[in-house]
Amino acid sequence: IRNEFFKILTIPGASDSLHVLDQLGVLTLLMPELETMKGLAQGMHHDYTLWEHSLKTVHFAETILHQLSHYFPQYAESLAIHFRQEVENDITRIPLLLLTALLHDSGKPLTRSVIDHQIHFYRHEQVGSDLNQKIARRFKLGKKTARIITQATAHHLRLLNQYRPAGISHRVTYRFFRDLDDAALDTLILIPVSYTH
């Protein structure tokens, strides 16, 4: 089941495939945690419900991954090699990143709060990382694969939170790559696409 699910994510139009799987009730069987995302309003800074946002994040991640030369002309070849890597048992980084894009905000339903009529999701990255670790175990993913998912989830807001008008410092950049290690490039793709409203 796991292998077939990842194969579906390798077919162009992954967000559409996920939508169909959801309509068929398959996603709820595989990941019941996703059910709480549906219809969940994210507040004044977001145009989409959490579920819609998650599917759009998958769509934009796939768009970038299949057009690397357009978005990163200088690094396209190196990035293509990176994302073609097999992480484990016929699972390459592209479908793995698309799954991570789907799950990157999985902690939001558990952390939603309303303060002064404003919706907040404090610490949703860490809560989501812990939740995604459980999903990875259920999918019987290896340690390396699970680490990439959980690291990308835990740090998908990190550089945005540390951005300054002068840019991101060399120290922040160094620490980001040091801390995320093998998940750094995957997280860098996830950061801008997870900012869809």
Instruction: Read off the tokens for 1.
Output: 């089941």
Give yes or no for a contact between 122 and 111, defined as CB atoms under 8 angstroms apart: yes
Show the tokens assigned to 125: 């990255």
Please report the pLDDT score of residue 197 as a whole number.
60
* Closest by Cα among 145, 135, 133, 137 to 93: 145
181 pairs with which residues across the strands? none
pLDDT of residue 164: 67
User: DSSP secondary-structure letter at 12?
Assistant: S
CA 55 → CA 50, 58, 59, 85, distances in Å?
9, 5, 6, 24
The reported pLDDT for the residue numbered 26 is: 95
Q: Are 160 and 172 in contact (CB under 8 A)?
A: no
pLDDT in 10s for each residue of the chain, 197 residues:
999 999 999 999 999 999 999 999 999 999 999 999 998 888 767 778 899 999 999 999 999 999 999 999 999 999 999 999 999 988 999 999 999 999 999 999 999 998 888 888 899 999 999 999 999 999 999 999 999 999 999 999 888 777 667 778 889 889 999 999 999 999 999 988 877 66
Q: What is the pLDDT of residue 141?
A: 97
**How confident is the model at residue 71, as a pLDDT?**
95
DSSP 128-194: HHHHHHHHHHHTT--HHHHHHHHHHHHHTTHHHHT-BTTB--HHHHHHHHHHHGGGHHHHHHHHHHT
